[in-house]
Chain A
Amino acid sequence: MAEKYRHLYVIIEHEDGELLPVSLEMIGEARRLLDGFNSKYSSNEKVVAVILGHNIKDISKQLIEYGADAVIYADDPELKDIRNTIYTKVIGQIAQDTKSLGEIESEYASEIKRPRYMFFAADSVGRHLSSTVLVELESGLASDINQLVIEDIEMSHQQKTGGKKETYEKTLKMYRPDFSGFLWTTILCLDNRNPAFKRDYHPQSCSIIPGVFEPLKPDSLREGKIIEFTPTIDEQDLKVKVLSRQIIKSVVDFDTPRTIVSFGRGIKDDPEQNIKLVENLAKELNAEIGVTLPISKKPYTVSQALDSKYMIPDRVIGTSGHKTSAMLYVAAGVSGAMQHVWGMKDSGFVVAINPDEDAPIKNECDVFIKGRMEDVIPLLIEEIKKQIQIVEA
């Protein structure tokens, strides 16, 4: 049988000559998955890192150390800025480049049409880049993934299989949390085996949430191929220009404060009053205030001042927002959805205030104060006034 789809391509992100942590995390997960895959299917497919930019040959070597079998790099002054159209087309070219495939693995090179799997980072760049690349490669994409498993799947689907039972080998199960954080959706990218619209869909692709997977320890003795790719860039596409870049400080700083107080939908009985309670508590602790993702969607009506100060994406702690490793973290009226927990689990001492003992946050905290925030926070404030004098650092 023709080997049309082989290898796992990881689209690397870097900034100012440094690989972004998510790039190494993706390589790490790719390595683990493929080692399992190669063992299970007695195969020899490769983790191929793809990196575009200008003057990037040196950091390409690091990718091998962190687990890639091969690196395909395109180095060109016109690739210095990330322009979606150019990057999409070049990645598309690389994904179908027989010559590079030949250098990775001479056998099969001429048969291979597409990579089997493809990874992107789920950030400002990767989310959009993955979307356009997958249209270019005419295949499927699942976004914001935090778990991956490769398996043979037996199923019958009215559409995909025309109702018949089929086995899809080597399928990538892509898990993503839904907006509430309580449900996990498994997405599959599957060929149409329904005779009415027979079609192959490869690469099976996903964008991966930064900070979820662990990178491997770098091994300077690892060997791998570093392959240069000469991109073809359309003159028309060069008319898109980056005029300037300006670094801005986030309005909310979650890194400096030693304490963070956050609130979630538990404010709902009296949103205005409860937020003010949280404000008072934060004031006593000299803490910054964070919110859960649902709060940033403005689910309750409060005064304009509180709305624009807190119910904003910039305040979110979690996968869609900030990560913190504060020394003291107080979560008031927070249930403990997965995305939020990811944002605060590195904190030192965690106190949760929640009337519901079954709330998942209970597994992520050191002290679980059972009660409504309206009742608990005033008591806490009184006690804090007595015991703790916060001296500004």
Chain B
Amino acid sequence: MEKYDVAIIGGGSAGLAALKQLSNLGKQAILLEAGSKIGSKNLSGGILYSKKPKKGKVTNVEQVYENFLDDAPLERKITKYILHSTSKDKVYSMDLTAAHDYQANFGYSVLMNKLNSWFAKQAEESAEKLGGGIIPGVHVKSLSWNEQTGTIILQTDELDEFEVKAVIAADGVNSEVAEMVGARKKFTSEQLYQGVKVIVKLPEEIIDERFGISPDEGAAHLFAGDVTLNHIGGGFLYTNRDTLSVGAVYHFDSLLRNPIEPYTLIDTLLKNPMVSEFIKDKVPVKPDIDKDLPQEEKLRIRYGVAKLIKTWYEIREANFSPSGRERLIKSGKYKDAEDIQSTLTSVQETMSEKFGVTFGTDYLEDEYGAKLVPDGKRCRMKKPFFKNILFVGDAAGRGIFVGPRIEGLNIGIDDGVLAANAVARALDKNDFSNSLGEFYSKSVEQNPYTIDMKQIDKDYLKIFLDAAKDVPRDIIGSRYGTVLKMMSSSTFRGIAVKFANIIGYEKLLPMIESEETYVKVPTLLAEKLGKSISSSYSPTILSIADRIANLNYNDDSLAHIKVLNSSSEFMKKMVILCPAKCYSEEGGKVIIQHEGCVDCGTCSEETEWKHPRGEKGIHYQYG
């Protein structure tokens, strides 16, 4: 049997950071990823933060990857962070940029496929020099221990079994490793958020103009109020370089109480007038082809129109992007920017004059995706290890959701570094007993991120309250009234926060994270104080069937999910709550069609849930 020092399971940001850190420390490691390529199975909102906590230290992404700020494929640096409360066509906006900047070096909007691929390239180069590396297309199906040596034997669907001294489990919120070894139970609905998102295409300079940002800036918009359809959570819209990440994240238990299709939730957000206005673009409308024309003529027109539209999109995207223009000019096909612009205009003219194409307003949706996110406050593993397996990131239930503060990637990366450090130490001492896990666990416990998952940070709270200082006190319900009064006074604030921390997140959370906070209060705010926004058009929303059809899959004839109780209440709700509509009810029994599965894990609580085998299943393009 082949032997290696360390196996990292899962090639997301956390796993890759662990690999890079181990390589930085001169340690050999193998990273196994089930997707056919790194990045193909990752999804994030998403914004990647680098933080500078007042107390304690974290390792940020730019410290793990030295050339991160120069070379990494980052979208935009977020410089504006605004929370909108909605009620029908009214919106009340609060600038929360200070909250976003709180203890932060930066926050960049990112697309996971590109970014993780870049992380992989850096990590792989270093890992290979030490006899390790990244192996895609491999799915770990089971593991066992060698009784005598305590080493771990890994079995996969694709390879002969092999042996390692330690494992770092970075296999995400639906960690099979955690379940296999019994390190923790599956996360329950109270501990999870379901996130759904779409990528909207919008040319770069139109984004600049529409969001009032320069090429070096970016905007993040959050939404609460009636867009949530009475669920606890909210919507988000982040500007990427030439796309927008638009999505919604809701408490999973809130969704179970009042099931609504995830795609309906995102559609509600898209149809909100402010969001509609954000995402709109000029789109060509294909002409109706005269039915009486001969077949050949009809085909000629169809192909001609399709080809021109494709060309128009390509030139237009480049026309509104400095790098795009540069690329076209360098290719020699165009003289300068004016040349590109005039070509675009003439293509437009040809489209309308020759083929009767008209131009309207709509939005262009590209990739649809969904995932579950763990709420660190409720489900972080207190001791994120089991024997010589260390759990990092989402696999350990560690994500930060505090009001508008959403962080996951940076925590996974920091966890990856801590785990790598612990394993490196164990390798040096040749000691893989529980002391490995205890050492790691301690470093995680003392970590500033963990502290934020345990206690309310009073300074963060102050920022949030300062942002809300213009809100009339009488608007907010009586429950909040006293609390807010106390919080506004700095004297009482200290006491109030200490008091709150004594009571603990657990007791406070139901009050804070409630329909009141996310739905009723914002809706009221919008109604009373909001501005009216009208949208000039009605976005054409894709059906869920079209959204799934547009995704890339590598079908496996073997179904990776098995329904255990086909007539349970929970499974019946899955018919509505599965983001990919994999479940249907026939004759009182719930059945699954696994081919459209996006591996989110929404149904995992009552199914025999596994990730698909190596290279199989969903393959995200943006992520």
Residue A391 lies at the interface, judged by CB distance under 8 Å to chain B? no
* A153 vs B466: C-alpha distance when bound (angstroms): 102
Closest to B556 in A: A305
Which A residues are in CB contact (< 8 Å) with B553?
A: 303-305
Known: A304-B553, A304-B554. 7 other contacts (CB 8 A): A303-B553, A303-B555, A304-B555, A305-B553, A305-B554, A305-B555, A305-B557
Give the Cβ gap from A207 to chain B, nearest Cβ, in Å: 37
Contact sample, A vs B, 7 pairs, CB 8 Å cutoff = A303-B553, A303-B555, A304-B554, A305-B553, A305-B554, A305-B555, A305-B557
Q: A303 CA to B549 CA in the complex, in Å?
A: 11
Bound-state Cα–Cα, A69 to B554, Å: 59
A305 / chain B contacts, CB cutoff of 8 Å: 553-555, 557
Residues of A within 8 A of B (CB): 303-305
Nearest 4 CB-CB pairs, A to B? A305-B555, A304-B554, A304-B555, A303-B555
Q: Chain B 533-569, CB within 8 Å of chain A: the 1/0 string?
A: 0000000000000000000011101000000000000
B553's nearest neighbour on chain A, judged by CB, is A303
Q: With A and B bound together, what is the CA distance between A305 and B553 in angstroms?
A: 9
Q: How far is the CB of A283 from chain B (nearest CB, A)?
A: 15
Minimal beta-carbon separation of A9 from chain B (angstroms): 49
Complex formed: what's the CA distance from A305 to B552 in Å?
Answer: 11
Least CB separation from B549: chain A residue? A272
A355: nearest chain-B partner, CB-CB: B295
> With a CB–CB cut-off of 8 A, which chain A residues contact B557?
305
User: Count the A-B residue pairs with Cβ separation under 8 angstroms: how many?
Assistant: 9
Minimum Cβ distance to chain B for residue A314 (Å): 16
By beta carbon, the residue of chain A nearest B557 is A305
**Nearest chain A CB to B289's CB is how many angstroms away?**
15
**1/0 contact string of B215-228 vs chain A (CB within 8 Å):** 00000000000000
- Chain A contact residues: helix, strand, loop or mixed: helix
Compute how far the CA of A208 lies from the CA of B358 in the bound complex, rounded to whole angstroms. 61
- Residues of chain A within 8 A (CB-CB) of B554 are 304-305
A304 to B554, CA, bound (A): 6
CB distance from A382 to the nearest CB of B (A): 21
Given the complex of chains A and B, what is the CA–CA distance between A305 and B554 in angstroms? 7
Question: How far is A304 from B615 in the complex, measured between Cα atoms in Å?
Answer: 11
How far apart sit A303 and B616, CA to CA, in the bound complex (Å)? Answer: 12
How long is the Cα–Cα vector from A304 to B618 in the complex, in angstroms?
A: 12
Q: A303 to B555, alpha carbons, bound, how many Å?
A: 8
Cα A305 to Cα B555 in complex, Å, equals 6
CA distance A91 to B553 in the complex (A): 53
- Chain B residues with Cβ below 8 Å from A303 are 553, 555
- The smallest C-beta distance from B300 to any residue of chain A, in angstroms, reads 14
Alpha-carbon distance between A303 and B619 when the two chains are bound, in angstroms: 12
Q: Measured between C-beta atoms, what is the minimum distance from A363 to chain B in Å? A: 24
Instruction: Give chain B residues whose Cβ lies under 8 Å from the Cβ of A304.
Output: 553-555
| CB of B549 to closest CB in A, whole Å | 10
Output the nearest chain A residue to B552 by Cβ-Cβ distance.
A303
Cα–Cα distance between A304 and B555 once the two chains are bound (Å) = 7
Taking the nearest CB of chain B, how far is it from the CB of A273, in angstroms? 10
Q: Complex: how many Å from CA A8 to CA B557?
A: 52
A319 to chain B, nearest CB (A): 30
Closest to A306 in B: B555
Within the complex, the shortest CB–CB distance from A59 to chain B, in Å, comes to: 44
In the assembled complex, how far is the CB of residue B619 from the closest CB belonging to chain A, in whole angstroms?
10
Contacts of B555 in A (CB 8 A): 303-305
How many angstroms between the C-alpha atoms of A303 and B554 in the bound complex?
Answer: 7
Residue of A nearest to B295 (CB): A355
Closest to A372 in B: B295
Q: Which A residue sits closest to B555, measured CB to CB? A: A305
- Interface mask (B280-321 → A, CB under 8 Å = 1, otherwise 0): 000000000000000000000000000000000000000000
A393 to B245 Cα, complex, angstroms: 54
Measured in the bound complex, the distance between the Cα atoms of B101 and A362 in whole Å is 74
Nearest CB of A to B569, in Å = 33
CB distance from B305 to the nearest CB of A (A): 16
B138: min CB distance to chain A, Å: 18
User: 8 Å CB contacts to A: which residues of B134-164?
Assistant: none
Give Cα distance in the complex from A305 to B616, angstroms. 10
Cα of A304 to Cα of B552 in the assembled complex, Å? 10
- A113 and B423 CA atoms in complex are apart in Å by 79
Report how far A303 CA is from B551 CA in the complex, Å: 11
Task: Name A305's closest neighbour in chain B (CB-CB).
Answer: B555
Within the assembled complex, what's the spacing in Å between the Cα atoms of A304 and B595?
12
Least Cβ–Cβ distance between B330 and chain A, in angstroms? 30
How many angstroms between the C-alpha atoms of A304 and B553 in the bound complex? 8
Shortest A141–chain B CB gap in Å is 42
Q: How far is the CA of A304 from the CA of B556 in the complex (A)?
A: 10
Q: Whole-angstrom distance between the alpha carbons of A303 and B557 in the complex?
A: 13
Q: Which residue of A lies closest to B616 (CB)?
A: A304
Q: How far is the CA of A330 from the CA of B555 in the complex (A)?
A: 27
CA distance A167 to B555 in the complex (A): 62
CB distance from B242 to the nearest CB of A (A): 26
CB distance from A277 to the nearest CB of B (A): 15
Give the CA-CA distance A303 to B553 in the complex, in Å: 8
Measured CB to CB, the closest approach of chain A to B362, in angstroms, equals 24
CA distance A367 to B555 in the complex (A): 36
Q: Name the distance in Å between A309's Cβ and chain B's nearest Cβ.
A: 9
Minimum CB–CB distance from A376 to chain B (whole Å) comes to 15
Output the nearest chain B residue to A272 by Cβ-Cβ distance: B549
CA distance A305 to B615 in the complex (A): 12
- Shortest C-beta distance, B117 to chain A (Å), equals 20
In the assembled complex, the Cα of A304 lies from the Cα of B137 at a distance in Å of 15
> What is the distance, in angstroms, from B463's C-beta to the closest C-beta of chain A?
49
**Which residues B552-605 have CB closer than 8 A to chain A?**
553-555, 557
Residue with the highest number of chain A CB atoms closer than 10 Å, among B553, B555, B557: B555
**A276: min CB distance to chain B, Å:** 11
